[in-house]
Amino acid sequence: MSAPRRPSDPSGLERYYVLTGGRSGPGGSASSLDVATLVVSRAAPLPGMQHEHEEILRRCRAPLSVAELGAHLGLPFNILAVLLSDLLDAGRVEARNPIPAHDAGRGPDLALLEEVLSGLERL
């Protein structure tokens, strides 16, 4: 006889569905998020907040990229983007887009690389 079947593990797809309220992607202000976008908290967590929202606010006291945040929380990008969308819409976090590269086809800024090298040599 087989053992009684237990409810599915809440760490799977069901968990993501519950975390996002059934939403599959961000909307509004979070639609332009990318893995390099920096996120910084603008407010402290409130009592009764969803655990993941609290954790995002705690971890983002100093700017943290979406990729780093996803790695710390163990969440896929689209799930994290939905959670960040909630916080952005509530004004609890700020998203700072990465600085665009000037003339991206030219390669890295040589002057900047030389300054970095000089600084490293002084260490």
Confidence band (pLDDT; 50, 70, 90) for 103? Answer: low
What pLDDT score was predicted for residue 29? Answer: 61
- Residue 53 and residue 87 in contact, taking contact as beta carbons nearer than 8 Å: yes
Say whether pLDDT at 101 is over 90. no
Tell how far CA 7 is from the center of its chain: 30
Say whether pLDDT at 1 is over 50. no
Lowest mean pLDDT segment, chosen from 41-55, 85-99, 101-115: 101-115
Phi, psi torsion values for 7, nearest 5 degrees: -60, 150
* Residue 100 tokens, joined: 């665009």
34-76 pLDDT tens trace: 888 999 999 999 999 988 999 999 999 999 999 999 999 998 8
Confidence band (pLDDT; 50, 70, 90) for 3? Answer: very low
Using CB atoms within 10 Å of the CB of residue 39, give its burial: 0 to 12 exposed, 13 to 18 middle, 19+ buried: buried
- Residue 70 and residue 76 in contact, taking contact as beta carbons nearer than 8 Å: yes
Q: Rounded mean pLDDT of the chain?
A: 80
> Which own/partner contact pairs does 66-72 have at CB distance under 8 Å and 24+ positions apart?
66/33, 66/34, 66/35, 66/36, 66/37, 66/39, 67/35, 67/36, 69/39, 70/35
What pLDDT score was predicted for residue 115? Answer: 87
Mean pLDDT of all residues in 5-16? 56
